[in-house]
Structure formats: C-alpha cells, structure tokens
Amino acid sequence: MTSPDFADPVALTATLVRQDSRNPGLVPGAPGEGACARTLAAVLAAWGFRVEVTEAAPGRPNVLARIGRAERDAPLLMFNGHLDVVGVEGMTHAPFAAEVRDGRLYGRGSADMKGGVAAMCAAAARAHAAGALRGEVVIAAVADEEWESAGTRALVHAMRGWPAMPTACVITEPTRLAVMPAHRGFAWYTLTVHGRAAHGSRYDLGVDAIRYAGLVLAELDALDHDVLPRRTPHPLLGRGSLHASLVEGGVGMTTYPERCVVRVERRTIPGETAESALAELRAAADRVGARLAAAGRPPLRAEVALDFAQPPSDVPAGAPLVVALGDALRAAGAPVAVEGMPAWTDAALLNAAGVPTVCFGPGDIGLAHAAEEWVPVAEVERAADVLTRLAQAWCG
C-alpha cells in the first residue's frame, strides 16, 4: 500500500475504498473492518495522531485517534464515521478499485462513508499543522454502523471514562455538504394474527388469519394516511410514517391459514418513541377486534411485539455547532443549507449520551448501498476545507 500524502483526503478516500470492509452481519463470511482499520490507524500515526485501536466486538475494531492539546477545560471536538460497508452484489463497477473518472471516485463505501472519513481525518491534521488548535480533535472511525452500531455503542461506553466529554461531534455521513442536525428513528414490530385451520370447504369452522391480518393492515393504512399527516411535523423531517415490510402465512391452497405474521417498520420523528408507536399499533388491532365482535364474527387474536428500535436525533437549528458549521461553510465560499437527514445514523446514540451531534459530509445518501456508488472528488476536498475551518474555530 502506498501511503497517501499528508492530509490528502482524496488519496485517503481511495486508500480506504480499496480495503474490503463489508460488514459480516450483513454479508456472511465478509472480512469486516479489520484491514481497513489497521490501514487507517497506520496513516493517522504517520500524520502525527496519537492512535489507539480497540475492539468494539470480537474482530471488529474501532480506531480512535487524537491530535492537538488535551488540556483541562479546553474544547474537545469529535469527528465520527464508520468503516464498514454493505454488500457488493449487483454493482455495475469494480467495488474496491477506487477508480477516479469525470471528477468522481467510484467504489463501495466511497459515499457511505469513506469519503467523509477521509475528509474528517485530513481536516484534523490540517488544523493541527496550522498551529490553530488550543484544544483537541478526536477521530472516531467505528465498526458496524450498518448493522447494530456496535462501534459507536462501544465508543459511548468508553467515553464515560474519559477526563472530559466532547463538546460537539460531526458525523461525516453523506449529506451533499448540507448541515443535517436531525434524523428520523425507526422501530421494527411483529404483528402475529391467529386463525383456525380447517379444510377450505369448511367456512363454518375455519378462521382466516390472513384476512384478519388484512383488516389490521387496513387500519394501519388509515393510521399512516389519515392520522400521522395531521400531527405537527418536525420542521426538518416532516411526519412519521409506517409500512408493512414482510408478510408470511398459510400452508396450502385448500386450507384456512391458522397464522399470519406481518413485520412492520415505523419511522419516528423527535417526540415519538418506539413504545408510543407500539401502543398505536396495538390500539389499531383493538379497534379491528371491537368491530369484529360487534358484527358477531369470531374474535381477533393478535399480538404486536417490538423487535428492535433506534431513536431519532435532533439538535436545534440554532445550536452552536450548527451555527459554527454554517460559518465555516461561508468562510469556505460554500452555500449553507440546513436539512433533515433521511436515514438513521449513529448521531442518535451520541446525542443520547449528551454530545451534540450533527451530520455533514461529502456525497449523496441516495448512492449509498446502490449498484453504482461514487463520491465527487471536489466535495471530498470541500468537506475537508470546511471541517478544517470548523476545528480551528471550535478548538482555536
């Protein structure tokens, strides 16, 4: 491996993209972040960072690199990004070649989010080299964001033992260089509806679990179409939403199905919780049950269970970090846009830990996980410039 030149974010992006860091939680047998983490750690050490590599989970390393002066009461700014990528099946170009053409760097993870990781590392190095840091910048390059966020969860746990918590954090997810201080959360639920198995000719005995589940789905459709749009929207994120993701049930064409399982995803906005959404789903099933009982139909037997959830994230648009990023963009001659992040990120975990965290980085989230993935070279450079100015202002 040829080490990238000092604080060169485009060369570092290419170096990282060439490392296959597919997440084994998504792709069985994939190598994970190990080689990529070791490569980044070596580059940052050569650039003058104090580097530590720790395991977030067995064989799943985080890279923690510090630069600047760790002084009492001095500001501590964190840049965070993930090293894992998703699978490469169906991609229309070589996934790990890091080819540059027409001003774009192609490869799995180029947009999501090795271009952002490279930009934040170069920015911290540049700010320190300029002698502008009174405080310290911490680089946290984490594992497993694409699956269960084991990397940032381990980071948050470790931060409890630090002498001081970061005063702010930027996650360099692809935002097209917009400042994104909020994103939705999500929750996954399983709706299980029970019927009664019987021969297809015995309507007098059978209870169709699939049809009953359909009645509950119609009630959930009304919740999404009629109820949620009437609630006060978040200024950057709009409203919450839900959709049915997976359905299974039945054993044969001539048998009444005794069971139907529907998996539902609910996207939540700040102010909504997985528990409050669970109560809404259960209430929808209860309304269907009440209507069936009033009509003298067999009773609805249904359960709704919460399987997994991640919270939304929200930093006020007028918060110091958002303002400082806007100032850095203007100083770099770039337009300032403050938007909502459409996808979930580790920002929610850091905000919950008390660290104001926003997303800002090069690339388009619409290209994440896509058959063609690329990041504009100019955006990687511009992101590094803006983040350098932020680090100088925040820690200067």
C-alpha atoms less than 13 angstroms from C-alpha of 396 in its C-beta half-sphere: 16
Burial class (CB in 10 A: 0-12, 13-18, 19+), 73: exposed
Distance CA 133, CA 394 (A): 9
Q: How far is CA 68 from CA 71, 126, 133, 172, 312, in A?
A: 9, 11, 6, 20, 32
Judge whether 8 counts as a catalytic residue.
no
Judge whether 208 counts as a catalytic residue.
no
Distance CA 121, CA 22 (A): 21
In which residue are the tokens 């060369």 written? 11
Which residues, at least 6 apart from 154, have a Cβ–Cβ distance to it below 8 Å? 54, 55, 56, 57, 62, 142
Q: Which two tokens stand for residue 15?
A: 């170096």
Give the count of beta carbons closer than 10 Å to the beta carbon of residue 229.
12
Of the residues 8, 112, 145, 272, which is catalytic? 145
Distance CA 338, CA 357 (A): 14
Which residues, at least 6 apart from 8, have a Cβ–Cβ distance to it below 8 Å? 122
Classify strands 185-194 and 259-268 as parallel, antiparallel or unpaired.
antiparallel
Which residues, at least 6 apart from 101, have a Cβ–Cβ distance to it below 8 Å? none
Distance CA 335, CA 151 (A): 32
Which residues, at least 6 apart from 251, have a Cβ–Cβ distance to it below 8 Å? 197, 257
Detail the DSSP E strand segments found in 107-233: 136-142, 168-171, 179-183, 185-194
Sign of the four-CA dihedral 169, 341, 54, 98: negative
Classify strands 338-341 and 179-183 as parallel, antiparallel or unpaired.
parallel
Of the residues 8, 33, 84, 373, which is catalytic? 84
Catalytically annotated residues: 84, 145
